[in-house]
Amino acid sequence: MRQSAYPLITAPCLKGVLEDGKNHVVIIDVRSNLVHPEKGREAYLESHIPGAVFADMETDVAGLKTGTNGRHPFPNLEAFAEKMRSFGVRKDTFVILYDGGEANFASRLWFTFRAAGHGDIRVLNGGFKAWVDAGLPVTKEIPTPIKGDFEVGEPLERVFTKEEIEKNLESGEYLLVDARSNDRFHGKNETMDPKGGHIPGAFNHPSTSNIGPDGYFLRKGELKEGFKAVLDAAAGKPIINYCGSGVTACCNHLAMEDVGIQPAGVYIGSWSEWIADPKHPLATE
């Protein structure tokens, strides 16, 4: 698997890429909301970066729900590729992703693209707000893309399964890192899932700690320092990121790759899949 050394792009840099015209660029708006996902499309229709298409986290990025495979299951990659082709993505496309600035939704789509073998992809640091704050133009015009030829290739990221996490309970080969808030990790104030707590042996690193008060990812030095406790807990073990439904985990995953930590992968089913099986142990300490 090839890691991405530069997963982020700034708004001024994106402006330059669009102006020089050397790359075939597709911009995808993946704004969403974990509680009210319809707000993402509403925001897109109100205004978006010119030329951007809209990807729905629930239907275009996540796969079909069975009731036991989590709130945002991993998609069938052939179905995902067909959707991305309809967005104009080609094999040689430079893909730019953005959300509202929290980076979770864009990171999930970034991870999915990479799991499908496409590495020429960046997440807009600061999201749509960064573009607006830079004084760059927005539009309500919805583009009509020319269908692309994107195909699923060799994966650049690893998607871990429930069965692999079950085995890890005994082997302890990997450190699980939970991206949810600390109170949810400890089974308190759980609002998203019917059971609170975490997978036994997991370590907590909320994805919100990757983002500064200005809405951008922390500078690399600060970001790396923030992961020091994670690395100490891992003690050399490879890291699997997870969260509630495989969204915020991808923000941790991207941030780790950005500072060279290179985690092993993401358990996309995450807590919402884990608790669907009553045999699975839960922890709150």
Structural domains in the chain, sorted by start: 8-133 (3.40.250.10), 159-274 (3.40.250.10)
- Is residue 127 within 8 A of residue 99, CB to CB? The reply is yes
Asked if 195 contacts 275 with a C-beta cutoff of 8 angstroms, the reply is yes
**Is-contact 274 71, C-beta < 8 A?**
no
Q: Region 189-200: what's the mean pLDDT?
A: 95
Q: pLDDT by residue (tens digit) across 48-97?
A: 999 999 999 999 999 999 999 999 999 999 999 999 999 999 999 999 99
**23, two tokens:** 């790359």
The whole-number pLDDT of residue 21 equals 87
| pLDDT exceeds 90 at position 3 | no
- Residues 126 and 9 sit within 8 Å (Cβ to Cβ): no
Stated pTM of the model: 0.96
Cα distance between residue 196 and residue 56, in whole Å: 27
Query: Residue 2: what pLDDT?
Result: 46
Kindly indicate the confidence band of residue 275, based on its pLDDT and cuts at 50, 70 and 90: very high
Distance CA 217, CA 9 (A): 11
What angle do the packed helices 104-115 and 248-258 form, to 10 degrees?
70
**Mean pLDDT of the residues in the chain:** 96
pLDDT tens, position by position, 253-267 = 999 999 999 999 999
> What pLDDT sits at residue 226?
96
Joined together, the tokens standing for residue 106 give 């864009």
Residues 99, 39 contacting (CB under 8 angstroms): no
- pLDDT higher than threshold 90 for residue 5: no
Query: HEC profile for the chain?
Result: CCCCCCCEECHHHHHHHHHHCCCCEEEEECCCCCCCCHHHHHHHHHCECCCCEECCHHHHHCCCCCCCCCCCCCCCHHHHHHHHHHCCCCCCCEEEEECCCCCHHHHHHHHHHHHCCCCCEEEECCHHHHHHHCCCCCECCCCCCCCCCCCCCCCCCCEECHHHHHHHHHHCCCEEEECCCHHHHCCCCCCCCCCCCECCCCEECCHHHHECCCCCECCHHHHHHHCHHHHHHHCCCCEEEECCCCCHHHHHHHHHHHCCCCCCEEECCHHHHHCCCCCCCCECC
pLDDT (tens digit, 9 = 90+) per residue, 105-154? 999 999 999 999 999 999 999 999 999 999 999 999 999 999 999 999 99
For residue 196, how many C-alpha atoms fall within 13 Å in the half-sphere facing its CB?
Answer: 13
Q: So which residues are the catalytic ones?
A: 243
Across the beta sheet with 53-54, the strand order is: 8-9, 121-124, 94-98, 25-29, 53-54
> Taking residues 176-201, what's their average pLDDT?
96
* Amino acid 277: pLDDT: 97
